[in-house]
Amino acid sequence: MKKLPVIIIRLGIRFYQKFLNPILRALGGPHSGCRFTPSCSHYFLEAVEIHGALYGSWLGICRICRCHPWGKCGHDPVPPKKS
């Protein structure tokens, strides 16, 4: 049961990637994507898989908040898990 929140978050992100992201790109044009590499949805997914549902979601939300026209851009990987 501990993995259930991670599975639910993964399903939500995959739904966004498969159905909502193409619609948003069609409405916003070719340059309406994420400013970072990896994209925010991939970052969120990877953060949840590495750090768990709670802290991974926090990292993903913070990343989404940084992704705006006046913010930075470029390569921004998920931080490694502290041992």
Mean pLDDT score, 11-15: 96
Q: How far apart are alpha carbons 52 and 59 in whole angstroms?
A: 10
How far is CA 1 from each of CA 5, 20, 52, 75, rounded to the nearest angstrom?
Answer: 8, 28, 13, 34
Domain boundaries, the chain: 3-75
Rama region for 81: left / alpha / beta (φ>0; ψ in -120 to 50; rest): beta
pLDDT at 19 exceeding the cut of 70:
yes
Global pTM value: 0.89
pLDDT at 1 exceeding the cut of 60:
no
Mean pLDDT score, 20-41: 89
Question: What pLDDT digit, counting tens, does each position of 34-74 carry?
Answer: 889 999 999 999 999 999 999 999 999 999 999 888 888 89
Predicted local confidence at residue 71, as pLDDT? 83
